[in-house]
Amino acid sequence: MEHRARALSPESPVIRGTAQNPDVFFQAREAANPFYLAVPGIVTEEMDRFAELTGRRYSIFEYRGAPDAERVMVVMGSAVGAASEAVEAAVARGERVGLVVVRLYRPFDKAAFCRALPPSVRSVVVLDRTKEPGAPGEPLYMDVVAALAEEWDGEMPKVTGGRYGLSSKEFTPAMALGVLADDRPPREHFTVGIVDDVTHTSVRYNPYDWHEPDDVVRAVFYGLGSDGTVGANKNSVRIIGEHTDLYAQGYFVYDSKKSGSQTVSHLRFSPRPISSTYLITEPTFIAVHQFGMLGRADLLHHTVPGSKFLLNSPYPADETWQYLPRDVQRTIVDRHLELWVVDAGSIAMEVGLGNRVNTVLQTCFFMLNQDLLPLDVAIAAMKEEISATYGKRGPKVVEQNYAAIERALAALEQVKVPEVAPPPVETTPPSAFEDAPDFVRRVTAVMMEGKGDLLPVSALPVDGTFPTGTTRYEKRALATEIPIWDPEICTDCARCALACPHAAIRLKAYLPDALGGAPEGFKYKEAAGRDLSGRLLTVQVSPDDCTGCGVCVDVCPAQTADGHKALDLRDVLEHRERERANWEFFEKIPPMGRTEVKLASVKGSQLIEPLFEFSGACAGCGETPYLKLMSQLFGDQIIVANATGCSSIYGGNLPTTPWTVDEEGRGPAWANSLFEDNAEFGLGMRLALDHMEEEARLLVLALLPELGQLAIDILDADQSDPAGIAAQRERVKELKERLAGMDDVLARRLESVIDGLVKTDVWIVGGDGWAYDIGYGGLDHVLASGRNVNILVLDSQVYSNTGGQASKATPRAAVAKFASGGKPTARKDLGLMAMSYGNVYVAQVAMGANMTQTVRAFTEAAAYPGVSLIIAYSPCIAHGIEMSTQMTHQKKAAESGFWPLYRFDPRRAEEGKPALVLDSREPTVPFEEFLAEEGRFGMLARVNPAEAEELLAQAEQDVRDRWHLLERMAELTPAGS
Ligand code: SF4
Ligand code: SF4
């Protein structure tokens, strides 16, 4: 308790954190030495005490392996499990090897380390899970070298250092065995687990040099991010761990796309404690929870012969075989796999669980693994878990899950597998890659196949620069239903295309001769509107990029009396082939150009190709429609500075990225920076662009005698609209040609900054976690800078990317992580704070509430010659709403006053008008009606009704107060006008 006596207290005041000067700082640092020296002894004592209490013994350096080992590996942390298994196996086959496990890294007790080594040691190999570019070695290696140099008695062993496992790269016992066998010269720094064909550092190892014991059950499950697979498997680990004597382990691999992306669960059940810190490569049970995944990668690779294979199949048992890809059929036959199927999708849908197939498939897992746990025990435990997990959401959800169990028990069927394997199919690259650039075929395609681990070092860019526009090659085919268009009743409103979070449904208006060669059944209508007169119009879905989220159908206003809409969701299996052909043709129809349409309108913007497409965002995402719109309005002239968060993940996550290019090869350039400095990052881009422009203009001026009228036209160019920018590009093109023929050092310098002569805008993008919380200091700095940057805040009112923690944008009474009892304080009003500067353009928008206002705000913000800020309401799965209705739900957010729409334009104040225009009317929808549709508010009412009532009343007051303040501000004319 000594440290408590040292607490700061006015009862015994002291001062800490003084600014120390050269006269004393050095001595003060050395004064703490005795404490560092004492730590190893203290830790050893505590470890001994822990052993007495629990029977589990640790020491600061632990030796395992042969007592007379000549070669010893040194590791710490996550390598210990795999390294221990490898050393154990090597010793069992008579090798003189050992392992030192470092438990206390700093302070590094050099003498204790040397004591831990067997005296017989001749060479030491040290593994670090880090890379220190430019250093003579990695940190643990350096410590080991220093310890041996200073403390080893006798001839010093040779020391080698190597790197493994960066960014969670696998480290297996086979790799550890490779390291132990490698006899490269000392001080050569190696890598293990990759193929380094550039500096040739990699250790060779045999991946088949290691097999897990036969009595360990190894189950691998492939699922989608939103289907509940991971949750169910965590649950199974718990159930088996608690109801049997087996040791259980679960490890879950997510690709960092959002829901709808692949998850792989690795589960081990063993009669002994499990120290295997690596993924399962030879499963004894395999489950594929989404049928469509089978065609994408070799999932059955290395499944142990005779294993059970559980497949969620939309086809009955007697039909499933014919729909399996040929290579999957071959593997099943060759490996004598038992194939079991269940139509989990239909069962989940029928009992009201939507796409959550987890309960059905978990039941089947227990049915097929009754040697692990008797079925009745498993089912009883599952029901218990269901009540505990879903009870808070009400009895209906619990009953739906119970029903799913009962239905699953009756629906699981075994497929009769033919005895003879079908002939092999010649492997040809998937057609999506036929026209792909070389890099995409060589690198991106391999990553998409899940084989990125096999790419050699030489395949990767040295500076992290990757091509854009690669999501178009990743046909995820996630949708079970896709929208089918009826041109007879469509009104050309373009709401569907604007609202689609995945740019999977598009509009094109084209001249009739573009229809030549159209596939049978390609649909079109006469385009409405005078500006499109003589053109035809098609609304087309890309069936393999659609997620089936239903947002487009929900926003479509064209409906017949019997409820049939201009877009209806239909079974993808019935429509996929036709719509694929239609999409392929549609893609070839030339899109209209920016100068040909009324760009600043809902329909005009949607006739332009999006330069943000097919992102891996959650189905129905509320953020991505804004980015897509931004790319349509200005995509060929922008650089995006993107804060870390959801938008950096669906926007810049390998293997494929959604930012893309137009026919001319132009499109948004994109870079990501951290939560804490993204606003400054974007401002830096602006300053660099301004500097480049300034220098370019000076050089054009200096070359005026040679360039003549061209120089004058360039310097005087009006680039305030797409036509002006297009004209300037033509001039710059001519300038490049002229400069190429000039033998002048100024011409060379101008060539290096010439792009600065064409208008380039900076958009700083991020979520509320960035803008309201962690990056706010920097954002405020940028707001105050007066520089011409545009800021887009995708306000989902929660840290969406990390699982829904409360941010300062979270409204009062909403339940979020870290606010499980409902957030007790009101949300911060970023818009009002920005308006207080007076010279910042500020707009609050909600696309689903008013699409025209959103388009107008983006256009005004881009045109404003200073800082502009758009705060965009972005519904998220964390809100607990039905995401297919997220756009129409936004209407309620605005109409209830929860999210008032406005635009604050300092240019209006200069004209003597109120700067603030309220685009929302006085609230007409009762606040409770809006809240009732959101689980984040409803949850509190179920758990703590009294607290909920009070917090919700305060939340309603927040809304009223803000509305009245905005109303007053909208009446304010500037002083002196
Ligand atoms: Fe886009 Fe969703 Fe409609 Fe598919 S269902 S086209 S992803 S809005
Ligand atoms: Fe046509 Fe409906 Fe799309 Fe509007 S939303 S363009 S009416 S399909």
Q: Choose the residue to mutate in 258, 496, 542, 547 for probing ligand 1, maximizing ligand atoms within 8 Å of C-beta.
A: 547
Residue whose CA is at the smallest distance from ligand 1 atom 2? 549
- Rounded to an integer, what distance in angstroms lies between the CA atom of residue 835 and that of residue 848? 24
CB 478 less than 6 A from any atom of ligand 1:
no
CB 539 less than 6 A from any atom of ligand 2:
yes
Ligand nearest to the CA of 482: 1
What atom of ligand 2 comes closest to residue 499's alpha carbon?
5
pLDDT-derived band at 955, boundaries 50, 70, 90 = confident
Between 884 and 935, residue with greater pLDDT: 884
pLDDT one-digit tens code per residue, 763-807: 999 999 999 999 999 999 999 999 999 999 999 998 887 777 888
Tell me the CA–centroid distance for residue 507 and ligand 2, in Å.
9
- Which of 24-38, 51-65, 939-953 is predicted with the least confidence, judged by mean pLDDT? 939-953
**C-alpha distances in Å from residue 648, one per residue of 175, 252, 361, 616, 686:** 33, 22, 33, 11, 20
- Rounded to an integer, what distance in angstroms lies between the CA atom of residue 672 and that of residue 645? 10
Ligand nearest to the CA of 479: 1
Q: Choose the residue to mutate in 486, 488, 492, 607 for probing ligand 2, maximizing ligand atoms within 8 Å of C-beta.
A: 492
**C-alpha distances in Å from residue 504, one per residue of 389, 514, 831, 848:** 35, 21, 32, 18
pLDDT given at position 976: 62
Residue whose CA is at the smallest distance from ligand 1 atom 3? 552
Residue whose CA is at the smallest distance from ligand 2 atom 7? 490
- Rounded to an integer, what distance in angstroms lies between the CA atom of residue 344 and that of residue 349? 8
CB 963 within 8 A of CB 916: no
- Write down the residue that tokens 């520089």 correspond to: 787
Residue 484, token pair as written in the block: 């089918």
Residue 378, token pair as written in the block: 């498993």
Q: Choose the residue to mutate in 484, 485, 541, 579 for probing ligand 1, maximizing ligand atoms within 8 Å of C-beta.
A: 541
pLDDT given at position 974: 75
What atom of ligand 2 comes closest to residue 505's alpha carbon?
3
Amino acid at 867: V
Query: Taking the model in full, what pTM does it have?
Result: 0.90
Q: Choose the residue to mutate in 491, 523, 553, 564 for probing ligand 2, maximizing ligand atoms within 8 Å of C-beta.
A: 491
Tell me the CA–centroid distance for residue 573 and ligand 1, in Å.
16
pLDDT-derived band at 850, boundaries 50, 70, 90 = very high
CB 881 within 8 A of CB 889: yes
* Residue 793, strand partner residues: 766, 871
Tell me the CA–centroid distance for residue 3 and ligand 1, in Å.
59
Sign of the dihedral defined by the CA atoms of residues 648, 649, 655, 658, in that order:
negative
Residue 512, token pair as written in the block: 């009739």
CB 890 less than 6 A from any atom of ligand 1:
no
Mean pLDDT, all residues of the chain: 93
Burial group, residue 272, by CB count within 10 angstroms (0-12, 13-18, 19+)? exposed
Tell me the CA–centroid distance for residue 563 and ligand 2, in Å.
14
**Average pLDDT, integer, range 708-716:** 97
Q: What share of the chain is helix, strand, coil (3-state, %, to 5)?
A: 45, 15, 40
How many CB atoms within 10 Å of residue 533? 9
CB 549 less than 6 A from any atom of ligand 1:
yes
The C-alpha R_g of the chain, in whole angstroms, comes to 32
**Average pLDDT, integer, range 394-416:** 93
CB 567 less than 6 A from any atom of ligand 2:
yes
Going by their DSSP bridges, the two strands 841-845 and 285-288 should be labelled as unpaired
**Average pLDDT, integer, range 498-527:** 96
- Rounded to an integer, what distance in angstroms lies between the CA atom of residue 117 and that of residue 64? 10
Under DSSP, the state recorded for 287 is: E
* Residue 221, strand partner residues: 265, 287
Tell me the CA–centroid distance for residue 623 and ligand 1, in Å.
14
Burial group, residue 63, by CB count within 10 angstroms (0-12, 13-18, 19+)? middle
Tell whether the model's pLDDT for residue 600 goes beyond 60.
yes
pLDDT given at position 429: 44
Top mean-pLDDT range of 338-342, 447-451, 467-471, 818-822: 338-342
CB 630 less than 6 A from any atom of ligand 2:
no
Tell me the CA–centroid distance for residue 314 and ligand 2, in Å.
30
CB 502 less than 6 A from any atom of ligand 1:
yes
- Rounded to an integer, what distance in angstroms lies between the CA atom of residue 754 and that of residue 692? 8
Residue whose CA is at the smallest distance from ligand 2 atom 2? 556
pLDDT one-digit tens code per residue, 627-679: 999 999 999 999 999 999 999 999 998 899 999 999 999 999 999 998 899 99
Under DSSP, the state recorded for 816 is: B
Nearest C-alpha neighbor of 158 from the set 191, 127, 185: 185
Tell me the CA–centroid distance for residue 862 and ligand 2, in Å.
27
The reply to whether omega before 107 is within 30° of 0 (cis) is: yes
pLDDT-derived band at 888, boundaries 50, 70, 90 = very high
Return left, alpha or beta for 373; rule: phi > 0 is left, psi -120 to 50 is alpha, else beta.
Answer: beta
CB 809 less than 6 A from any atom of ligand 1:
no
CB 552 less than 6 A from any atom of ligand 1:
yes
CB 903 within 8 A of CB 919: yes
Tell whether the model's pLDDT for residue 255 goes beyond 80.
no
The reply to whether omega before 519 is within 30° of 0 (cis) is: no
CB 483 less than 6 A from any atom of ligand 1:
yes
Burial readout 152-161 (b: 16 or more C-beta within 10 A, e: otherwise): beeeebbbbb
- Rounded to an integer, what distance in angstroms lies between the CA atom of residue 345 and that of residue 812? 37
- N- to C-terminal Cα distance for the chain? 67
Tell me the CA–centroid distance for residue 501 and ligand 1, in Å.
7
- Which of 8-12, 239-243, 471-475 is predicted with the least confidence, judged by mean pLDDT? 471-475
Q: Choose the residue to mutate in 505, 546, 556, 560 for probing ligand 2, maximizing ligand atoms within 8 Å of C-beta.
A: 556
Burial group, residue 28, by CB count within 10 angstroms (0-12, 13-18, 19+)? exposed
CB 566 less than 6 A from any atom of ligand 2:
yes
CB 335 within 8 A of CB 300: yes
- Ranges of H-type helices in 560-677: 572-588, 602-606, 624-634, 646-652
Length of the chain: 977
Nearest C-alpha neighbor of 431 from the set 446, 444, 441, 443: 441
Residue whose CA is at the smallest distance from ligand 2 atom 3? 496
Residue whose CA is at the smallest distance from ligand 1 atom 1? 500
Residue whose CA is at the smallest distance from ligand 1 atom 4? 546
pLDDT given at position 428: 47
**Average pLDDT, integer, range 817-821:** 76
CB 504 less than 6 A from any atom of ligand 1:
yes
Nearest C-alpha neighbor of 553 from the set 563, 542, 538, 544: 563
pLDDT-derived band at 185, boundaries 50, 70, 90 = low
- Rounded to an integer, what distance in angstroms lies between the CA atom of residue 375 and that of residue 368? 9
**Average pLDDT, integer, range 524-542:** 95
- Rounded to an integer, what distance in angstroms lies between the CA atom of residue 72 and that of residue 115? 13
- Rounded to an integer, what distance in angstroms lies between the CA atom of residue 499 and that of residue 490? 16
Element at 247 (helix H, strand E): strand 247-254
Backbone angles phi, psi at 840, to 5 degrees: -110, 130
**Average pLDDT, integer, range 496-518:** 97
Ligand nearest to the CA of 477: 1
Under DSSP, the state recorded for 571 is: E
CB 696 less than 6 A from any atom of ligand 1:
no
pLDDT-derived band at 710, boundaries 50, 70, 90 = very high
- Which of 224-228, 362-366, 445-449 is predicted with the least confidence, judged by mean pLDDT? 224-228
Residue 694, token pair as written in the block: 């300034």
pLDDT given at position 425: 58
pLDDT one-digit tens code per residue, 663-677: 999 999 999 998 899
pLDDT-derived band at 236, boundaries 50, 70, 90 = very high
**Average pLDDT, integer, range 118-140:** 96
What atom of ligand 1 comes closest to residue 884's alpha carbon?
2
- Write down the residue that tokens 């573009």 correspond to: 514
Sign of the dihedral defined by the CA atoms of residues 357, 361, 362, 363, in that order:
positive
814: helix, coil or strand? coil
CB 493 less than 6 A from any atom of ligand 2:
yes
CB 572 less than 6 A from any atom of ligand 1:
no
CB 225 less than 6 A from any atom of ligand 1:
no
Going by their DSSP bridges, the two strands 338-342 and 481-485 should be labelled as unpaired
Nearest C-alpha neighbor of 622 from the set 554, 681, 566: 554
- Rounded to an integer, what distance in angstroms lies between the CA atom of residue 806 and that of residue 799? 6
Nearest C-alpha neighbor of 492 from the set 543, 526, 534: 526
CB 551 less than 6 A from any atom of ligand 1:
yes
Tell me the CA–centroid distance for residue 274 and ligand 1, in Å.
44
Tell me the CA–centroid distance for residue 553 and ligand 2, in Å.
8
420: helix, coil or strand? coil
What atom of ligand 2 comes closest to residue 565's alpha carbon?
2
CB 643 within 8 A of CB 765: yes
CB 621 less than 6 A from any atom of ligand 1:
no
Burial readout 558-593 (b: 16 or more C-beta within 10 A, e: otherwise): beeeeeebbbbbeebeebeeebbbbbebbeebebbb
CB 539 less than 6 A from any atom of ligand 1:
no
- Rounded to an integer, what distance in angstroms lies between the CA atom of residue 532 and that of residue 527? 6
pLDDT one-digit tens code per residue, 57-105: 999 999 999 999 999 999 999 999 999 999 999 999 999 999 999 999 9
pLDDT given at position 788: 97
pLDDT given at position 977: 58
